[in-house]
Amino acid sequence: MPKSKIAGIGKYLPENVVTNNDLLKYMETSDAWIQERTGIQERRYAHRTEETTTTMAVEAAKVAIERAGITTDDVDFIIFATLSPDYYFPGCGVLVQRAMKMKEIGALDIRNQCSGFLYALSVGDQFIRSGMYKNILVIGSEKHSFGLDFTTRGRNVSVIFGDGAGAVILQPTEKEDQGILSTHLHSDGESAEILAMFNPGTHANHWKEEKMASFDDAEIGKMFFSHKMIDDEQIYPTMDGPAVFKKAVVKFPEVIMEALNANNLMPKDINLLIPHQANLRIAQFVQHTLKLRDDQVYNNIQQYGNTTAASVPIALCEAWEKGLVKEGDVVCLAAFGSGFTWASALIKW
């Protein structure tokens, strides 16, 4: 059974750099607070009307496809991870298929937030291993800046997130000692509401406090999304940051060790760990727990903030472009976030 390898990788970051100080015009915060608590110095925001989650994904995909030495015609499956899709439905996968004028290939959308890219990578890996596909385009892309609460009320969330996209091409490899060694996926829905965006949605929570009976049947279609939800400012992502932090620093090392144990490897064998860029303090905690040297961990949250599903492929791409990922290296990818869902992948480059 062939393993899959990352044959090409690309990233796209919007031009617009937004510093911590730039955020002061919207909310009460400070460069010192943001840097101290998160490590973030600046992030990128997509052009408000000209760039979308899909257009950024297409730019990253073009680079990945070129670096893999193939053309868009060769791509036989798309897997797209995002929590900020262009439309509620259809997903961004088909929008990439259309924008890149690809054949009538399958397009799958993944909704796993911060661990979305690793879930997507794992699904792609299984399709390659089974022999079903030969060139899979796996994308993580986010346009967070369009849907954040930029008032002081939402500052614990809005200062963290940034926009961008990363993409890889997965191909089979016959080389014994190369490719994705294993992937590990987990979830625990107990805390689903701790990091979530509730509206629009079909949960109807908003209406439970209202008198449902008084709701005119003719108006039922408006329950999905209403002026009241906007007026009550219930349309933004919300997060209990400390609760997420506490769980993340346990689950990150756990899922990394799971990947290492599955391959009879130890932390010292990792050439480069790319943790999801949630918070520099989380990454440092994980590094400390696993006793990894600085040169074994790659972080770029300082420049790009937390780009959710895009953070792992952007960081991996940047590390590769800097020559930090070489043939034969053991690369570990790991992520934790909303759901909670978490995941890891171990790759022999």
Give catalytic residues, as residue numbers: 114, 276, 306
CB 64 within 8 A of CB 167: yes
Of the residues 16, 153, 241, 284, which one makes contact with ligand UT7 according to CB under 6 A: 241
Q: What is the largest CA-CA distance in the chain?
A: 67
Interface residue with ligand UT7 among 37, 111, 129, 153 (CB under 6 A) is 37
Q: Say if residues 70 and 63 touch (Cβ distance below 8 Å).
A: no
Residue in 270, 277, 281, 283 with CA at minimum distance from that of residue 316 = 277
Q: Which residues are CB-neighbours of 303 under 8 A, at least 6 positions away?
A: 41, 42, 43
Interface region with ligand UT7, contact rule CB under 6 A, candidates 76-84, 117-125, 203-211, 275-283: 275-283
CB closer to ligand UT7 out of 65 and 195: 195
Rule CB under 6 A: say whether 306 interacts with ligand UT7: yes
In 232-273, which ranges are continuous DSSP H helix?
241-262
- Interaction between residue 299 and ligand UT7 (CB under 6 A): no
Number of residues lying near ligand UT7 (CB under 6 A)? 20
Residue 114 touching ligand UT7 (CB under 6 A): yes
Q: Which of 4, 38, 54, 145 binds ligand UT7 (CB under 6 A)?
A: 38
What is the DSSP-derived secondary structure letter of residue 264?
A: T
| Binding flag, residue 245, ligand UT7 (CB under 6 A) | yes
- Residue 181 touching ligand UT7 (CB under 6 A): no
Among the listed ranges 48-56, 178-186, 228-236, 276-284, the one in contact with ligand UT7 (CB under 6 A) is 276-284
| Binding of ligand UT7 by 307 (CB under 6 A) | no
220's CB contacts (< 8 A; 6+ apart) are: none
Rg of the chain over Cα atoms, rounded to whole angstroms, equals 20
134 touches ligand UT7 by CB under 6 A:
no
Residue from 43, 44, 144, 155 that binds ligand UT7 (CB under 6 A)?
A: 155
Contact status: 339 vs ligand UT7 (CB under 6 A): no
Question: Is residue 21 a contact residue for ligand UT7 (CB under 6 A)?
Answer: no
Residue type, 130: S
Residue position matching structure tokens 């052009």: 47
Instruction: State which of residues 63, 170, 229, 248 lies at the interface with ligand UT7 (CB under 6 A).
Output: 248
**Residue 199 within binding range of ligand UT7, rule CB under 6 A:** no
d(CA 274, CA 157): 22
SS3 203: coil
Residue with tokens 């053309």: 71
Decide: is 333 part of the binding site for ligand UT7 (CB under 6 A): no
Residue closest to ligand UT7, measured at CB = 241
Helix (H) or strand (E) holding 117: helix 116-129
Asked if residue 344 binds ligand UT7 (CB under 6 A), the reply is no
CA–CA separation, 347 vs 14, rounded Å? 28
Closer residue to ligand UT7 in complex, CB, 25/208? 25
CA 94, 98, 100, 105 dihedral sign is positive
Among 310, 346, 332, residue whose Cα is nearest residue 116: 310
Min dist CB 242 to ligand UT7, Å, is: 4
Q: Does 153 bind ligand UT7 (CB under 6 A)?
A: no
Residues that bind ligand UT7 (CB under 6 A): 29, 33-34, 37-38, 114, 155-156, 159, 195, 241-242, 244-245, 248, 278-279, 282, 306, 337
